């Protein structure tokens, strides 16, 4: 396995694992409150939808000329990676609340209990909440699988890494029968942000016609360089901006983005 | 269709459009320099570090109750 393939597999695995942990919390809350049959049907339908998106868009992306593909994929990965990294830096610096799976679980359970029952048999609420939870959490992963995989013409490897992460998280969730609150989500998001930003920068510049000194070996300097810069920024912003009570930026931009996406697609 | 486009915009660009615009401009500058045979590999690292620092500074400045 080459360094590029290792980076691809690791990035997709980590990104998928962290999103799967968040999706698991929603499904667990709905399943334990309303019943498993409809909740798992929603999970299955969402997984099929995500697989269909990857299967439909993958061949179209890999058919693009290599330079166009690299500049397109590089640019998109960079925009995504910088957003992941920004959120992770703000959380690590104590300026934004970390994701609390236990609190999310409790909120989802309260909402599931408050929602009315549609009658015996199929539970539309459980199906819809599970479907939307898995689909929305999975879309970013599908995007990463497609872009990373298409650029290296290794979509099957990216999909396998994603599937391995889902299976691992599902097995851990089934064993624990509780949200995976101890998973170091922010550390994983930090790592994914560094990888997406580094590979995005590398491929984007190559696609735009630049030649990196040392060719592919430049990644061995780019990845540690981005990591170092992110650590320096975390410490600098943490020192300059002491955390407010609760350590959260109210209506933080990244959260606003997620909520806006959900609202737009629910409309 | 409008909801789909809005969702797609929010999904890809998010709320931090200046960073997305900066990435596009940096790639364009890289392409321009490359086509003129000017070494251009350094543009993206400089742009990325600068864009990330600015994005974090904006988010920190938006904190409520900040004096």
pLDDT in single tens digits along all 67 residues of chain B = 777 778 778 777 877 899 999 999 999 999 999 999 999 999 999 999 999 999 999 988 877 655 4
pTM of the model: 0.79
Query: What tens digit of pLDDT does each residue of A49-95 get?
Result: 998 988 888 888 878 888 888 899 899 999 989 998 999 999 888 88
CA atoms within 13 A on the CB side of A38: 21
- Structure tokens belonging to residue B62: 């938006």
Q: Do B15 and A241 touch (CB under 8 A)?
A: no
CA Rg value for chain B? 16
**What is the residue range of A143's domain?**
3-266
Beta strands in chain A (DSSP E): none
A184-222 residues labelled b (16+ CB within 10 A) or e (exposed): ebbebbbbbbbbbbbbbbbbbbbbbbbebeeeeebbeeb
Which residues between 41 and 80 in chain A have a beta carbon less than 8 angstroms from any beta carbon of chain B?
A: 71, 74-76, 78-80
Helices (H), A35-100: 36-62, 66-92
Nearest by CB to A139, which of B11, B30, B53? Answer: B11
- Phi/psi zone of residue A104: left (φ > 0), alpha (ψ -120 to 50 degrees), beta? alpha
pLDDT of residue A238: 79
Overall number of domains in chain A: 1
Cβ atoms of A197 and A81 within 8 Å: the answer is yes
Q: Which residues of A touch B23 (CB under 8 A)?
A: 75, 78-79, 82, 204
Q: How confident is the model at residue A266 (pLDDT cuts 50, 70, 90)?
A: very low
Closest-CA residue to B22 (of B46, B57, B38): B46
How far apart (Å, rounded) are the C-alpha atoms in residues A161 and A152? 14
Top pLDDT among A57 and A250 is at A57
B59 within 8 A of B14, measured Cβ to Cβ: no
Please state the ipTM of this predicted complex.
0.89
Are the beta carbons of B23 and A204 separated by less than 8 Å? Answer: yes
Backbone angles phi and psi of B4, in degrees to 5: -65, -45
* Other C-beta atoms lying within 10 Å of the C-beta of residue A128: 16
């Amino acid at each position: 396995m080459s360094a590029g393939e290792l980076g691809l597999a690791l990035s997709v695995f980590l990104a998928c694992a962290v999103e799967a942990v968040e999706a698991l919390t929603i499904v667990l809350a709905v399943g334990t409150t309303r019943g498993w049959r409809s909740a798992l049907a929603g999970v299955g339908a969402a997984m099929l939808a995500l697989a269909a998106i990857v299967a439909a868009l993958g061949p179209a992306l890999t058919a693009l000329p290599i330079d166009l593909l690299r500049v397109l994929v590089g640019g998109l990965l960079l925009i995504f990676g910088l957003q992941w990294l920004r959120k992770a830096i703000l959380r690590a610096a104590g300026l934004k609340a970390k994701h609390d799976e236990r609190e999310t679980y409790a909120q989802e359970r309260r909402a599931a209990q408050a929602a009315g029952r549609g009658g015996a048999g199929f539970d539309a609420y459980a199906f819809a909440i599970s479907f939307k939870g898995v689909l929305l959490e999975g879309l970013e992963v599908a995007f990463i699988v497609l872009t990373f995989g298409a650029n290296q013409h290794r979509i099957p490897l990216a999909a396998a890494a994603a599937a391995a992460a889902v299976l691992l998280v599902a097995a851990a969730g089934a064993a624990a029968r509780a949200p995976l609150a101890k998973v170091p989500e922010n550390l994983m998001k930090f790592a994914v942000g560094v990888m997406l930003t580094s590979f995005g920068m590398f491929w984007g510049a190559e696609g735009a016609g630049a030649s990196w000194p040392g060719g592919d070996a430049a990644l061995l300097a780019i990845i540690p360089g981005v990591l170092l810069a992110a650590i320096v920024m975390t410490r600098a912003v943490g020192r300059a901006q002491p955390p407010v009570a609760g350590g959260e930026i109210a209506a933080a931009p990244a959260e606003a983005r997620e909520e806006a996406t959900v609202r737009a697609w629910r409309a | 269709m409008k909801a789909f486009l809005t969702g797609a915009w929010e999904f890809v660009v998010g709320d931090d459009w200046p960073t997305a615009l900066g990435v596009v401009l940096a790639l364009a500058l890289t392409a321009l320099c490359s086509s003129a045979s000017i070494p251009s590999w350094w543009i993206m690292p400089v742009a990325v570090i600068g864009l990330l620092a600015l994005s974090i500074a904006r988010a920190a400045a938006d904190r409520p109750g900040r004096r």
